[in-house]
Amino acid sequence: MTATNDRFQSVYSEVWDVVVFGGGYVGYALATQLHAQGKRTLLVDRAATLLWESAWAFSGDVGNSSAAAWKAFHSGMAHRNAAGDRWIDGAIAQVVASHEIREAKLPTLFYATPVASRSDDSGAITSVTVVAKSDLRVLTARQWVDATEAGELLAVLPGQNWESPEADRETIRLFYRHKAWVGCDKPVTLKSKALPFSALTFAPSPWENERILSYDLPAPFAQPKSTWVPAIIAVQKQLPDAIRGAVITHTSLIPMPVYLTQETQNVVAPNVVNAVPASVDAARANTLAGRFEIGVGSIDRLAAASVARVSDVQATVDTPQFAETMQADVVVAGVGTGGAMAAIAAAREGATTLAFDPLPFAGGIGTGGGIHSYYYGVKGGLQDELDERTREIMPLFGSIQQVSGFHPDAKKIVLEQMLDEAGVTLLTAATLFGTTVDAHGTITSAQISTERGAVKINANAWIDGTGDADLAAAAGAQFNMGRVHDGQLHAFSQSSGRANVQNDRARMLVINYDAGFVDPTDAQDLTRGRLLSTAHYLQEQYDSIERPTYIAPALGLRQGRQVVTDYVVTLADLIEKRHFDDSIGLTGCHYDNHAIDYEFETDEAMFWVWCCRQWRGGRTGGQMPYRMMLPVGISNLWVACRGAGISEEAHHSLRMQRDFQRLGEVAGIAAALTTVDGGPGHSRKVSMPDLRKKLIETGALADSGAGDADPFGHSTGATDCQALEGDLSKWFTEVSAGPGTGMYRLMRHGHNSASMRKALHELLGSTDAKASFRAASILALWEDSAAEPRLVQTITSREYGFETTDELRPESSNRLAPHWIVATRLLRTCGTPECLNDLATLASDSSLLHNARTSMAITVAAIAARHKLSPEQKALVTEILRKLLDSPLPNAVGDPQRKVIESKPASATPATPQSRQVVIEDFSWQLHLAVAKAEQTIGIKVHDGAAIFLSDPRATVRKSFSQVLQSY
């Protein structure tokens, strides 16, 4: 998506004709039809998943409808080989719906829940306050429709006294894949003594390599996942030969409700239409076609409803009425990677513990993001128990040879068991929207939205496991977000399930790719990213192999807020593997930054990757300090997620699942230790000897030895986290020999050594051009202008710096750049006005690639800021900036993982086997931003082309330009 189309339009700044709550079949059908008729329609959903009945519940009850819109939708699915007379593929339905909404440009808002409403004198609703991600925002409309399953909008209408429909039963479906089924060509009825209330049906799927296990539960059923294991065991016992060699590829994330007749409830607001499926027509609510028909039929009822006379956007946030107040010693916000461990650990220490999460299950990215394997990190502690218990039940889902890492559904079950055994009160489909903090920086309460209304929670200690530090931010914690030079965050992923046959056995796979960039604190930007990344799985035709089995319900958000804590871990800490007196465990990885535009990274990060060439080769690690979880100014909060105290560049190494599972365990134990007397917890009064004793008992501080090839993924051992040894002379020898860790160590510690500086000055004149360049690189980061002539020579000669025989070079690695582009960026730290003429000559080359131009813009801005320019020099800088923008950028459009030296713009291509469509991002905004910042630095008017990016659909782009273009 580029800045020149689909201009950004805030959903909060519009007066809508109709706002439809609920993205299932009812809401989707209604919203798409209204939009096609020209109505200004907004579709809102809390779950960020269209057609949840297919995409999450995997309902197989399709039914029939004579509605023309249903026939068009169904025939479109059938054209892609994803639907038939009695079936619709769940994952593909979600993909197609996302694509259709984007193509139609139907405004959509995910991650949003209604919590309050406002009416005029006639009783018509004019605005609804929603929790959007973690903020309270206001939507304005003339008419409203509630198409949610439980009646979320109707529940917050004044005087409504809404009662949610009750299902008679709920249906669960589990999907099996086999290389070649023998038998089971017809439905088989099974029995389970553990599930006496339901018969189990094992039946063929429309896909020839798939079978479906389905069964009903009485509704409401408190823990439907607890029935998976006995149901699977029943299949294995009664169909042992048929099931041998099969793997479970996906399951119902939530059950599909089945309704009997419901009593229709009148709606008190004249401009609100009740389209809650079971409340409108319980019989039709039991099929997908019937639900679609309810949505289409709501158009007539909407036409008969009143229309509020509202012309101006309503901005007043209404305070929600709390349906309930709850109390706990410890509250965990977010039950993902770290939060689940925190809740279990706190409860096991005897603290009454309450935890909540927006998703319908625990585990976060590992169980719901499609990343069900470990990418480094150190074992030990509570997570070892979790892994062992997951390993014990995994054979029910598939052998270790059939699953990439751990099976996500097996881990879901184990986490639910461990939370339940520990006595944790777990609230799902719940989102934070506020906190109360006293004058001493103590959090006393939090407010969350749930399906049954707003809930207030009082507690003594709080743990932030939200990923984006939503709780810390709501409590007023300081935080940073994004890179200094362009505000960009780490790319996010949108994973999906896949399955094929490898080594003569069915195998469950996962597709994980960089889908683009989003602001994870902005619900509207998250919606854009979710729709776009899901639509990347669109294919003209699907078949039994080339299809997604499920679309991961959780976006793979790698980075968001980074809270300012008592100690912020730096990249230097990780590269040098530092130890801390308050260590609570080890971390280990490599510099897993997915960026290719290292000119926008910090000088240190750029140096590590482009100069030292250590993106993968240089292992990072060391101890994690307890203080990295303690937000400055807040006394009873621990941050146990990726929002912990980690610098922007260090975060790319310290962000793995094992890291946050360990932080979660530590936070849970610490929080429990401080609340034993019933008073407010205090994170800084935790006894470190007592905490470390507990961690030794659980094995969290155990020496795990060397890293090994764990069946659940890569692991790092304690030996990989030992502090580096060496001295200046040794590091200088390494610099002379080649790029590596020694370069970094000398750069960090040699700047105060006159002998080292002299030796590097001498190395500048070496006949070994590569060694000479390495010396210049180090001196540049020391801000030594002696490096400037060597760097200018590198630029003017277009020095490449690699051999064609090198295994890693810019042609084969997108984390490397030719020396002359690196030199252009290095001049940022050491360049003087003397190099401007040479940079002007370089800028005259109309074939310059994106990274070269952005590097130059960043560099001239730094030179202008560091030196007082003469009028002639200022004019020269102005000319350089103009030249950078004058000619088209050859490679500004492409996949986030394109190579630095690729010169051809990428174009969209169909999804390929076991993959998805090529991601297309327009990165030209980075050049405009870098140039705008340089223009601002030298005091000239920012070029006109920059203003267009203030309305870019991408939130991070808009934010970056708004900081520069405040005068617009």
Beta strands at 709-710 and 562-563: parallel, antiparallel or unpaired: unpaired
**pLDDT (tens digit, 9 = 90+) per residue, 820-830?**
999 999 999 99
Handedness of CA 283, 287, 288, 293 (dihedral sign): negative
The predicted model gives 883-905 an average pLDDT of: 87
Question: Which of 302, 231, 291 shows the shortest CA–CA distance to 259?
Answer: 291
Report the SS3 class of residue 546.
coil
The predicted model gives 356-383 an average pLDDT of: 94
State the first-to-last Cα distance of the chain, in angstroms, to the nearest integer: 23
Going from the C-alpha of 782 to that of each of 571, 730, 746, the distances in angstroms are 17, 19, 11
Q: Give dist(CA 613, CA 802) in Å, integer.
A: 12
Question: Which of 415, 342, 410, 361 shows the shortest CA–CA distance to 700?
Answer: 342
Residue 676 has pLDDT above 80, yes or no: no
Instruction: Specify the residue for token string 């519009």.
Output: 14
pLDDT for res 53: 98
Q: Are 646 and 628 within 8 A, CB to CB?
A: yes
What element of type H or E holds 21? strand 15-21
Question: Which of 426, 439, 522, 428 shows the shortest CA–CA distance to 473?
Answer: 522
Q: Give dist(CA 744, CA 723) in Å, integer.
A: 14
Q: Using only C-alpha atoms, what is the Rg of the chain?
A: 29
Backbone angles phi, psi at 154, to 5 degrees: -60, -30
pLDDT for res 707: 63
The predicted model gives 124-130 an average pLDDT of: 97
| Buried-state track 462-496, b at ≥16 Cβ within 10 A, e below 16 | bbbbbbbbbbbbbbebebebbbebbbbbbbbbbbb
Residue 710 has pLDDT above 90, yes or no: no
User: Whole-number mean pLDDT of the chain?
Assistant: 93
Instruction: Specify the residue for token string 């597709």.
Output: 511
Q: Are 535 and 528 within 8 A, CB to CB?
A: no
pLDDT for res 4: 38
Q: Give dist(CA 578, CA 623) in Å, integer.
A: 6
Backbone angles phi, psi at 464, to 5 degrees: -95, 110
**pLDDT (tens digit, 9 = 90+) per residue, 724-739?**
777 899 999 989 999 9
Q: Give dist(CA 150, CA 166) in Å, integer.
A: 9
Residue 703 has pLDDT above 70, yes or no: no
Opening angle at CA 711, ends 656 and 338, nearest 5: 30
771 or 723: which carries more pLDDT confidence? 771
Question: Which of 827, 882, 875, 860 shows the shortest CA–CA distance to 934?
Answer: 860
Q: Give dist(CA 331, CA 459) in Å, integer.
A: 6
Residue 906 has pLDDT above 70, yes or no: no
pLDDT for res 902: 81
Which residues, including other chains, have CB under 8 Å from residue 870's CB and lie 6 or more apart?
Answer: 833
Which residues, including other chains, have CB under 8 Å from residue 138's CB and lie 6 or more apart?
Answer: 12, 127, 128, 129, 130, 313, 314, 315, 316, 317, 318
pTM: 0.95
pLDDT for res 617: 83
Q: Give dist(CA 744, CA 577) in Å, integer.
A: 13
Q: Give dist(CA 658, CA 375) in Å, integer.
A: 8
Is the N-terminal amide bond of 789 cis, ω within 30° of 0? Answer: no
Residue 476 has pLDDT above 70, yes or no: yes
Going from the C-alpha of 324 to that of each of 560, 896, 929, the distances in angstroms are 31, 46, 48
Q: Give dist(CA 580, CA 592) in Å, integer.
A: 23
pLDDT for res 750: 93
**pLDDT (tens digit, 9 = 90+) per residue, 847-880?**
999 999 999 999 999 999 999 999 999 999 999 9
The number of C-alpha atoms within 13 Å of 265 and in the hemisphere containing its C-beta is: 23
Instruction: Specify the residue for token string 């090198």.
Output: 806
Residue 1 has pLDDT above 70, yes or no: no
Percent of the chain beyond pLDDT 90?
Answer: 85
Question: Which of 491, 437, 488, 459 shows the shortest CA–CA distance to 631?
Answer: 437
pLDDT for res 155: 93
Q: Give dist(CA 636, CA 464) in Å, integer.
A: 11
The predicted model gives 594-613 an average pLDDT of: 96
pLDDT for res 722: 76
**pLDDT (tens digit, 9 = 90+) per residue, 309-361?**
998 998 899 999 998 999 999 999 999 999 999 999 999 999 999 999 999 99
Residue 968 has pLDDT above 70, yes or no: no
Q: Which of 3-17, 104-118, 440-454 has the lowest mean pLDDT?
A: 3-17
Q: Which of 300-314, 448-462, 900-914 has the lowest mean pLDDT?
A: 900-914
pLDDT for res 431: 96
Instruction: Specify the residue for token string 């907004």.
Output: 42
pLDDT for res 211: 97
Q: Give dist(CA 128, CA 404) in Å, integer.
A: 44
Residue 913 has pLDDT above 50, yes or no: no
Which residues, including other chains, have CB under 8 Å from residue 791's CB and lie 6 or more apart?
Answer: 776, 780, 823, 826, 827, 830, 831, 835
Percent of the chain beyond pLDDT 70?
Answer: 97
Residue 5 has pLDDT above 50, yes or no: no
| Cβ neighbours of 800 (radius 10 Å) | 15
What element of type H or E holds 101? helix 90-104
Confidence of residue 6 (pLDDT cuts 50, 70, 90): low
**pLDDT (tens digit, 9 = 90+) per residue, 782-801?**
999 999 999 999 999 999 99
- The DSSP output letter for 403 is B
Residue 2 has pLDDT above 50, yes or no: no
**pLDDT (tens digit, 9 = 90+) per residue, 185-240?**
999 999 999 999 999 999 999 999 999 999 999 999 999 999 999 999 999 999 99
Which amino acid, residue 227?
Answer: T
pLDDT for res 715: 82
pLDDT for res 914: 47
Q: Are 432 and 445 within 8 A, CB to CB?
A: no
Residue 522 has pLDDT above 60, yes or no: yes
Beta bridge partners of residue 173, listed in sequence order: 214
